[in-house]
Amino acid sequence: MADPVSVEEVAAAMFDLVKSTYGKKNLKAMDLTKAMIEQFGEDRCDKQLCKQAIRQLIDSGKCTYSYVGGSYITLPPEAGS
């Protein structure tokens, strides 16, 4: 089995994905989780690790939840402008 990815690595990759799609596409937590498992592989990244990475992004203020017909993870308003 390959070495698991750190929460920090997954959080950084998630942040890059949110940043690259900002203003174009709303990403749900599940979209981010699926993308990370695809990027790092199921043997290195699981749903629990993705949850921890999302929590880290939200708690640090790098990302926020947005509720527009569903719950999405996006950049805080001041970061996107």
Q: To the nearest whole number, what is the mean pLDDT of the chain?
A: 92
**Predicted TM-score (pTM) of this structure:** 0.90
The CA distance from 2 to 58, in Å, is: 28
The CA distance from 43 to 59, in Å, is: 26
CATH number for the domain running over 7-80 = 1.10.10.10
**Residue 79's pLDDT band (boundaries 50, 70, 90)?**
low
Q: What is the pLDDT of residue 3?
A: 81
Q: Where are the domains of the chain?
A: 7-80
First-residue to last-residue Cα distance in the chain: 42
